[in-house]
Amino acid sequence: MAAKGKKTEKAAVKRSAYFKVEGKSAVAQRRYCPRCGPGVFMGEHKDRVSCGKCGYTEFKK
């Protein structure tokens, strides 16, 4: 349990986990946010994809 006023550190995700190498190019595995643009990935959830930076959300059918 964290002490009052102190934030716990989250485990950072390796940037290489977001890309797959095909030949001589790297292909993004996740979608980019349409509002924030390239460089900001959307988070994959069970029923939606959402941007952690701006809050943009698209619900899956």
- pLDDT, residue 37, reads 93
- pLDDT, residue 9, reads 82
- pLDDT, residue 39, reads 87
- pLDDT, residue 47, reads 95
Question: Looking at the domain assignment, is residue 11 inside a domain?
Answer: no
Q: What is the mean pLDDT of each run of 10 residues along the chain (61 residues)?
A: 72 84 92 93 94 95 86
Domain tally, the chain: 1
- pLDDT, residue 55, reads 94
Question: Looking at the domain assignment, is residue 12 inside a domain?
Answer: no
Q: In this structure, are residues 21 and 4 in contact, taking their beta carbons and an 8 Å threshold?
A: no
Domain that holds residue 35: 17-59
- pLDDT, residue 2, reads 58
The tokens of 48 are what? 């939606």
Q: Residue 34's closest CA among 22, 15, 51, 13?
A: 51
Angle 61-31-8 from CA coordinates, rounded to 5°: 100
Question: Looking at the domain assignment, is residue 49 inside a domain?
Answer: yes
Report the DSSP beta bridge partners of residue 48. 59
Single-letter amino acid, residue 7: K
